[in-house]
Amino acid sequence: MKGLFVKSMREVWLATTLFAAGLFLVEVLIMMILPQMQADLLDEVWSQLPFVRTMITALLGTEIDGPITTQALQAFAWVHPVVLALVWAHVIILCTRVPAGEIDRGTIDVLLAWPVSRSTVYVVETAVWLGTGLVILTVAVIGNQVGGLATEATHRPPLTRVLLVAVNLACLYVAVGGVALFASALGNRRGRVIAAVFGLVVASFLLNFLAQFWTPARHVAFLGVLEYYQPGGTLMRGEVPVRDWLVLLTVGGVGWIAGAIVFSRRSICTT
């Protein structure tokens, strides 16, 4: 089991390092750019262009009463499409390695020839996924704090609130990972599995955005994972979205269990 874990880590360390570096850089840049925005200009645009207000509310996932604040702007560091894309790309790449990736490469027979059960293989891949996920999310928090040094301390949200947002993002990471593991257990072509899962998260992003403008989308917004990831409320008001955490963890847990059952029972043929 240890040898299998080491093998998997050797295969994913480079990708994890690149994603972590990307998240660190994006977080630093966003947090450094925010103080350069003129608050007066933002308030003017905020009051005169209701459409801009709606768009910002859609991205942050929470209603903003009154003038926009620096803390509200800092929530963009956690909902920016580049940040979400990096997090999603990492979890989808990690969670589609086995079995879809191995079948696609024609190496699944070599993997299953190890003197361990399929359940052990699945658990090892899960440990690699969660361990590397913890690394990139920790690096993201560090980047956020480093970039935040460009903002006056009185305008920065408390670290505890930032950590709460990171926990929410970690739950989102688990939810997407559980779905990806289940899809991988069903599929034989990694490219198709990646496309399907990424399509689902992009659809969730669009659904969450459209829900602010379109009433029919609002009625089904609960089907998207981003409905349960709203860092704006946490950073501005210190909300602790335990319900959202539980929903995301439940989605991830159900996907993980379903993936384990399918992988352990399915007949895999590479010829």
pLDDT digits (tens, 9 = 90+) for 221-246: 999 999 999 898 898 888 999 999 99
- What does the pLDDT average to over 165-193? 98
Note every long-range contact of 238-242, with CB atoms under 8 Å and residues 24 or more positions apart, other chains counting.
Answer: 238/158, 238/161, 238/164, 240/164, 241/168
pLDDT of 270 above 90: no
Q: How confident is the model at residue 13 (pLDDT cuts 50, 70, 90)?
A: very high
Say which residue, 131 or 210, is predicted with more confidence: 131
Q: Name the DSSP letter for residue 157.
A: P
- What does the pLDDT average to over 181-202? 97
Say which residue, 62 or 2, is predicted with more confidence: 2
Judge contact between 174 and 249, C-beta under 8 A.
yes
Domain boundaries, the chain: 2-265
Average pLDDT, the chain: 90
Q: Express each pLDDT in 49-86 by its tens digit.
A: 666 666 666 666 666 665 566 677 788 899 999 999 99
* Burial letters 2-41, b for 16+ CB under 10 A, else e: eebbeebeeebeeebeebbebbbebbbebbeebbeeeeee
Express the helix, strand and coil content of the chain in percent, nearest 5 each.
80, 0, 20
Q: Express each pLDDT in 29-49 by its tens digit.
A: 999 887 666 555 565 655 666
Q: Percentage of the chain with pLDDT > 70?
A: 86
For 149, 175, 203, 214, 224, the CA distances from 208, given in Å and listed in that order, are 31, 16, 9, 10, 7
Judge contact between 74 and 120, C-beta under 8 A.
no
For 30, 51, 117, 170, 205, the CA distances from 99, given in Å and listed in that order, are 37, 45, 13, 24, 27
- What are the backbone dihedrals phi and psi of residue 187, each rounded to the nearest 5 degrees, phi first? -95, 165
Q: Percentage of the chain with pLDDT > 90?
A: 69
The amino acid at residue 253 is G
- What does the pLDDT average to over 20-29? 98
pLDDT at 54: 67
pLDDT at 210: 87
The amino acid at residue 10 is R
Judge contact between 124 and 173, C-beta under 8 A.
no
Q: How far apart are CA 94 and CA 178, in angstroms?
A: 11
Say which range, 11-20, 60-69, 204-213, has the weakest mean pLDDT: 60-69
Angle ∠(57,61,62) on CA atoms, nearest 5: 70
Q: How far apart are CA 158 and CA 74, in angstroms?
A: 12
pLDDT of 181 above 90: yes
Q: Any idea which residue has 């768009």 for tokens?
A: 55
Say which range, 84-93, 156-165, 208-217, has the weakest mean pLDDT: 208-217
pTM of this structure:
0.93
pLDDT at 66: 58
Helix axes 242-265, 118-148, angle to 10 degrees: 150
